[in-house]
C-alpha cells in the first residue's frame, strides 16, 4: 500500500486507488473540503512535494483557474492514490473555522 506523508503529521498507508481526500479523512487528518468531491470549490487543495500523481484533467484545471495555481496545486478529491506521496495541505477545517462539506464519494 502507498505511504502518504503529510507535512506535520505521521505518515500512513492508504489503499491504492482511493481518492486522496478520503484517505486523508480516514486517517484522521484535518483537510477542508466543501463541494463533495465535485472539483468545484478548490478547498481541498494540496501541494505535492514528492511522488507521482495522475495527470490533471480539464475539470480540475477549470476549477483551479489561475495558471499559477494550476502549476502549484492539485485537488485531493481528484487524485487516486497509486504511489507514495509527500504532500502539504493548504486549508484545514480547524484553522479556517469551517466544517468539512459532505463526504466525497469514492
What are the structural domain ranges in the chain?
A: 3-95
In sequence order, what are the residues at sequence separation of 6 or more whose Cβ sits closer than 8 angstroms to the Cβ of residue 26?
A: none
Q: What's the number of CA atoms in the CB half-sphere (13 Å) around residue 56?
A: 20
CATH class in words for 3-95: alpha beta
pLDDT attached to residue 56? 96
pLDDT attached to residue 89? 98
pLDDT at 30 over 90: yes
Q: What is the pLDDT of residues 31-52, one digit of tens each?
A: 999 999 888 899 999 999 999 9
Q: What is the pLDDT of residues 89-102, one digit of tens each?
A: 999 999 999 999 89
Q: What is the pLDDT of residues 43-90, one digit of tens each?
A: 999 999 999 999 999 999 999 999 999 999 999 999 999 999 999 999
What pTM, to 2 d.p., does this model score?
A: 0.94
Q: Which three cell numbers stand for residue 51?
A: 511522488
Rounded to 5°, angle at Cα 34 from 24 and 94? 65
Q: Which three cell numbers stand for residue 8?
A: 506535520
Rounded to 5°, angle at Cα 33 from 96 and 18? 140
Mean pLDDT score of the chain: 95
Amino acid at each position: 500500500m502507498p505511504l502518504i506523508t503529510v507535512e506535520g503529521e505521521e505518515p500512513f498507508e492508504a489503499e491504492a486507488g482511493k481518492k486522496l481526500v478520503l484517505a486523508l479523512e480516514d486517517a484522521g487528518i484535518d483537510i477542508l473540503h466543501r463541494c463533495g468531491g465535485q472539483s468545484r470549490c478548490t478547498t481541498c487543495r494540496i501541494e505535492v512535494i514528492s511522488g507521482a500523481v495522475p495527470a490533471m484533467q480539464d475539470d480540475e484545471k477549470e476549477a483551479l483557474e489561475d495558471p499559477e495555481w494550476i502549476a502549484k496545486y492539485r485537488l485531493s478529491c481528484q487524485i487516486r492514490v497509486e504511489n507514495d506521496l509527500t504532500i502539504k495541505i493548504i486549508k484545514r477545517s480547524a484553522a479556517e473555522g469551517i466544517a468539512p462539506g459532505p463526504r466525497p464519494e469514492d
